[in-house]
Amino acid sequence: MISLADLQRRIHSGELSAEAAIAQSVAAIDAHEGTIGAFVCRAGEPRAAASGPLRGVAVGIKDIIDTSDMPTEMGSAIYRGWRPRADASVVMLLKQAGATVIGKTTTTAFAANDPTPTLNPHNHGHTPGGSSSGSAAAVAAGMIPLAVGTQTGGSVIRPASFCGVAAIKPSFNLLPRVGVKCFSWTLDTVGLFAAGVEDLACALAAITDRPELLPDAAVRTPRIGVVLQDFAGAPEAASEQALGIARVAAERAGASVRTLALPDIVAEAWRIHGTIQNFEAHQAFAWEYRENYDAMPPLLRGRLDDSRDIAPAAYDAARGVANRARRALFEVFNDVDVLLTFSAPGAAPKGLASTGDTKFNKLWTLMGVPCVNVSADVADGGLPVGVQVIARFGDDAGALNAARFVEKVLARG
Amino acid sequence: MISLADLQRRIHSGELSAEAAIAQSVAAIDAHEGTIGAFVCRAGEPRAAASGPLRGVAVGIKDIIDTSDMPTEMGSAIYRGWRPRADASVVMLLKQAGATVIGKTTTTAFAANDPTPTLNPHNHGHTPGGSSSGSAAAVAAGMIPLAVGTQTGGSVIRPASFCGVAAIKPSFNLLPRVGVKCFSWTLDTVGLFAAGVEDLACALAAITDRPELLPDAAVRTPRIGVVLQDFAGAPEAASEQALGIARVAAERAGASVRTLALPDIVAEAWRIHGTIQNFEAHQAFAWEYRENYDAMPPLLRGRLDDSRDIAPAAYDAARGVANRARRALFEVFNDVDVLLTFSAPGAAPKGLASTGDTKFNKLWTLMGVPCVNVSADVADGGLPVGVQVIARFGDDAGALNAARFVEKVLARG
């Protein structure tokens, strides 16, 4: 994989030109794209910017995010050839920071359930996960150092876990959603994929112009609360092992680690995530569902067919639960710096029919808290498995610091 | 003006056909549009729907809201001829409820400060207010029974006050913003204009499929807290008089009315509204500002030029203030059902150079609470003046009920 932080250092020192860095990504895409299928569209003649902390960084943009100079097709025939007028805000922020948009990455249709043909770079017989399939796979295959995705259930952290890359779903709205196709306005969150946690921190700091997100020279030892999310059911052995290994490695390195039970209201929030997502989806996709029913992607259409009867009162009650759970979760972080939990139920499922299950992600999306995937273990079949580091709302710096700690202690073996 | 509730009753009883109701609006637009200039685009051959509670209701859509069959030009040359692929969610909800989109209404450029040529129907030498200028003026001129607008500072309640129509800025996100051009994601709120408060209630209930918003047969007598918003400075005599008249009329009709001081943190929220709006605007308009600087509407461009230096930390602090203020305001409603305050500093200012001041609106937009304008008084020059009824977040039914009460007691004289 291409390390963004390493690229920055080499460009800054003059060892590598920004143009050469972009050319390196173009060559890597030429080499791997035919097999992996991570892109739906590539930039014609990508050029490096002259300045900016992300000059020389080739970035892939999930194809539900508007671009002014490339189509935005949402993974659906309904938007075949669609050309937005403007760049989405996050695309402009990337350009302002010097990044080069190298192409649009595959997305499950409307970032929902219908899969893409993208292959998992670690094992071509397995899904890369979704919905940000192409963004995770393109980074994992070493094609690009940075990619943008979105998460409404588990569409950033889960594919990152399946593809063995680092990813952050930042605090809600830290990265702007203007120009991003809406699934659920309460949940949709823009996130980033990169080779490692330091790379994520450098990218997020540059995009948001928040230097406090830059990685500190020294990684602080965090107080960690392990949560098992019993309400979501049990994970597979691979994820259980990954969490166990991460826990032991963190303890050995001197972190205080203890198992925490989450307040009941937080478990209740896990249960009502779908009520909020589906109620809002009926409004967000009203035009597609009503005016283009036959052309709708079948899994999303079925989901909407099955959720037509959510009453406004049920939705209002669900939002009340979410608000109370956010306040309760805030207090959990009085005693620990971060939570550590599963990134996914296990390694990437076999085949491409399903992109996997969001059950260990959806609570944290609803809570709006920053989540980082750290690649922790390699299961049978060469498939990676990640663990998820979660901090208090707004403490993206804390999430990234603790994730770097976990990444470091795991690397020590 | 055309009463939506009256139209519904006549269509329901068979006295009026839905087609005839639409034809009535077409004829009224033909008669007045040449003078008022409330529309930027009209539907080619508007037809009534066969069913739905809003069949026969011609609705105007502010031109920052996407329509699949008409251009959406945002009041700016940058979007000249722009055709979105999809209808905005609120447009689809209106169509599902049976309404007929009759045209796109004028908006200040990007719903910011640069005015439209629309005239105030009550006095052509005065502004109709903004940014939802055309929506307010079209209802006020009797062209249509319903129009959609948006409010980020005071863009629904203020033009309603200036034009003498009823309007609601509902609880934040009650009407979906998907497909509405973003100015500030924390603030932007979709709202409605109609002839009277009962009309608003019928429309909002139909669009949201929430029968609890339908007007009750009996109007309950509310407990009213009058707030003067001292932190915003003094109003002009016309608004002071309007509030005084409404207060006295409510007291005479048996309402408990008392003057309330708002908690300090709420006044602080009033002060930081602009920090949030402008910080987010730099991201929301990143493409327009960076790639189309010369074509930007001059007042909005100047505003962005002047607010380039808002630090992320100042924005974060402002959001913290807003959250604390929302909680404090919630408690204020333990003792009263609604607040009553000014809708605008006075009657519509002379000329078209400015659409007026948001100072009595912006706090409530930031608080996300439902606000209803009730036309209360007519000042010199035939210009109306409104008062603003405000309820707790989520209590849109309470806001509408109390606004009907105020409207009724004012009508008694």
In this complex, the residue of A176, A209, A290 whose CB is nearest that of residue B92 is: A290
Nearest chain A residue to B176, by CA: A283
**Active-site position among A25, A62, A133, A239:** A62
Considering the domain A4-213 in this protein, what is its CATH number? Answer: 3.90.1300.10
For B312, the token pair is: 């992320």
In this complex, the residue of B179, B208, B283 whose CB is nearest that of residue A89 is: B283
Residue A338 · residue A133 · CB < 8 Å: no
Q: Is the pLDDT of residue A64 over 70?
A: yes
Asked if A155 is an active-site residue, the reply is yes
| Chain B contact set for A93 (CB, 8 A) | 283, 286
- Cβ contact A287–B182 (<8 Å): no
Cα R_g (chain A), whole angstroms: 20
Strands A189-194 and B39-42: unpaired
Query: Which distant-in-sequence residues (6+ apart) come within 8 Å of B120 by Cβ?
Result: B126, B127, B128, B129, B137, B140, B162, B163, B348, B383
A280 reaches B (C-beta below 8 A): yes
CA distance B104 to B81: 13
Apex CA B40: angle with CA B75 and CA B287, to 5°?
A: 25
Nearest chain A residue to B313, by CA: A210
Model confidence at B378, in pLDDT bands (50, 70, 90)? confident
Residue A1: predicted pLDDT: 97
Nearest chain B residue to A208, by CA: B312
pLDDT in tens, A134-179: 999 999 999 999 999 999 999 999 999 999 999 999 999 999 999 9
Residue A378: predicted pLDDT: 82
Nearest chain B residue to A209, by CA: B312
Asked if B132 is an active-site residue, the reply is no
Residue A412: predicted pLDDT: 82
Report the amino acid identity of residue A361: N
φ, ψ dihedrals at B17, nearest 5°:
-85, 155
- Cβ contact A87–B287 (<8 Å): yes
Q: What is the arithmetic mean of pLDDT over A321-342?
A: 98
Residue A26 · residue A32 · CB < 8 Å: no
- Whole-number average pLDDT of chain A: 97
- Cβ contact A283–B176 (<8 Å): yes
What ranges in B16-144 are assigned the alpha helix state H? Answer: 18-36, 89-96, 133-140
DSSP E strand boundaries for A141-237: 146-151, 166-169, 189-194, 223-226
CA distance B348 to chain A (A): 33
pLDDT in tens, A220-251: 999 999 999 999 999 999 999 999 999 999 99
Report the amino acid identity of residue B76: S
A87 reaches B (C-beta below 8 A): yes
- Cβ contact B283–A394 (<8 Å): no
Query: Which distant-in-sequence residues (6+ apart) come within 8 Å of A325 by Cβ?
Result: A263, A265, A266, A268, A269, A366, A367
Q: What is the arithmetic mean of pLDDT over B103-118?
A: 98
Whether the link from the prior residue into A3 is cis, omega within 30° of 0, is: no
- Cβ contact A178–B283 (<8 Å): yes
- Give DSSP secondary structure letters for A380-400: GGG-EEEEEEEE-TT-HHHHH
- CA dist B198 → A344, B60, B137 (Å): 51, 18, 19
Nearest chain A residue to B81, by CA: A85
* Helix (H) / strand (E) containing A158: helix A157-163
A395 reaches B (C-beta below 8 A): no
| Chain A contact set for B82 (CB, 8 A) | 85
Short-list B3, B125, B100, CA closest to B47:
B100
A293 reaches B (C-beta below 8 A): no
Q: Could you give the percent of chain A with pLDDT greater than 90? A: 98
* Helix (H) / strand (E) containing A100: strand A100-105
Residue A413: predicted pLDDT: 66
A288 reaches B (C-beta below 8 A): yes
Q: Is the pLDDT of residue B258 over 90?
A: yes
Question: How many residue contacts between A and B have a Cβ separation below 8 Å?
Answer: 80
pLDDT in tens, A205-217: 999 999 999 999 8
pLDDT in tens, B170-205: 999 999 999 999 999 999 999 999 999 999 999 999
| Chain B contact set for A170 (CB, 8 A) | none
Q: Is the pLDDT of residue B379 over 80?
A: no
Q: In what order do the strands lie in the sheet with B100-105?
A: B39-42, B100-105, B58-62, B146-151, B189-194, B166-169, B371-378, B384-391, B338-342, B223-226, B256-259
pLDDT in tens, B203-256: 999 999 999 999 998 999 999 999 999 999 999 999 999 999 999 999 999 999
Report the amino acid identity of residue B207: I
- Cβ contact A283–B208 (<8 Å): no
Q: What is the arithmetic mean of pLDDT over A6-33?
A: 98
Q: What is the arithmetic mean of pLDDT over A50-73?
A: 98
What ranges in A165-311 are assigned the alpha helix state H? Answer: 197-208, 237-252, 264-284, 286-291, 298-306
SS3 A61: strand
B385 alpha carbon, distance to own chain's centre: 15
Strands A384-391 and A338-342: antiparallel
| Chain B contact set for A284 (CB, 8 A) | 89, 176, 178
Q: Is the pLDDT of residue B124 over 70?
A: yes
- Cβ contact B283–A312 (<8 Å): no
Q: Is the pLDDT of residue A335 over 90?
A: yes
Handedness of CA A246, A249, A255, A259 (dihedral sign): positive
Model confidence at B413, in pLDDT bands (50, 70, 90)? low
- Cβ contact B89–A287 (<8 Å): yes
Q: Is the pLDDT of residue A374 over 70?
A: yes
pTM confidence score: 0.98
CA distance B11 to B1: 17
SS3 B31: helix
Handedness of CA B211, A182, A201, A52 (dihedral sign): negative
Short-list A342, A176, A272, CA closest to B287:
A176
Q: Which residue has the tokens 């307040």?
A: A263
Best probe of the A interface among B64, B80, B89, by most A CBs < 10 A, is: B89
Q: Which residue has the tokens 């909002």?
A: B204
Asked if B359 is an active-site residue, the reply is no
CA distance A28 to B95: 49
Short-list B190, B187, B339, CA closest to B261:
B339
Which A-chain residues 145-174 have CB contacts (< 8 A) with chain B? 173
CA distance A275 to A327: 20
Best probe of the A interface among B66, B152, B178, by most A CBs < 10 A, is: B178
CA distance B91 to B207: 9
